Amino acid sequence: MTRITLDGAAVGSGPAAALPPVTLDARPGAVTVVATEGGQRPTVLSLVAAGRMAVDAGTVDAERARIALIDTPTVAEHSDDVRVAAVVREELALAGRHGTARELDRLGLVEWAKRPFGALPTVDRLRLLVELALLRRGVDALVVTSPERHGGDPATWFRYLREVATRGVTVLVVTDHATRDALPDIPAPGPGALPLFEGPLR
């Protein structure tokens, strides 16, 4: 099972660093939430955590091939204008699979097939991307980037991600401070350059 560990991982330095030092340990069976804001920092942190970007300081232990980026801006996101069925086809292609209609039915999204992807409620958008990513061979860890940008109640998608984690999946959510503070069952912040939180599974 995949674990994602960052120890003082940073890109750049000083106040304008692309990513200030981050320490976190995302483990299977849990949802780990880290908050960062400013420019491209959520995307940079997501790329670092997924083993897709080198750091200038600190260390990263992340098995790239086993980690899927979910809805990461400019890197792994779909246009809101594309039909839902087209998104499903593209995600299935990444998993080396076919059967768009079957997957839409499995996800309960048949009626959305011809509608624009951007019209999906946030939790359904996230569920579609997560469930299809988990079809990829060897993937058992997810880095979800800025789900709050699509609106909706954060508690709804957070509950869904906790259910995903119960399957033994490692889930790391990169979000902003306001969303992190709004999530349920999050303990007080610990030490570190970026506040790190873990939502307990209940």
Domain-located, residue 86: no
d(CA 93, CA 57): 35
Domain-located, residue 125: no
Write out the chain's pLDDT in tens, 202 residues.
Answer: 899 999 999 999 888 899 999 999 999 999 999 999 888 999 999 999 999 999 999 999 999 999 999 999 999 999 999 999 999 999 999 999 999 999 999 999 999 999 999 999 999 999 999 999 999 999 999 999 999 999 989 999 999 999 999 999 999 999 999 999 888 765 433 333 343 344 433 2
Domain-located, residue 84: no
- Say how many domains are in the chain: 1
Cα Rg of the chain (Å, integer): 16
Domain-located, residue 131: no
Domain-located, residue 130: no
Domain-located, residue 93: no
Reported pTM: 0.90
42 Cβ contact list (under 8 Å, min separation 6): 36, 73, 145, 146, 174, 175, 176
Domain-located, residue 192: yes
Domain-located, residue 163: yes
- Assign 40 to helix, strand or coil: coil
The CATH number given to whatever domain includes residue 13 is: 3.40.50.300
Residue 186, domain extent: 4-79+138-199
d(CA 51, CA 141): 12
d(CA 197, CA 173): 10
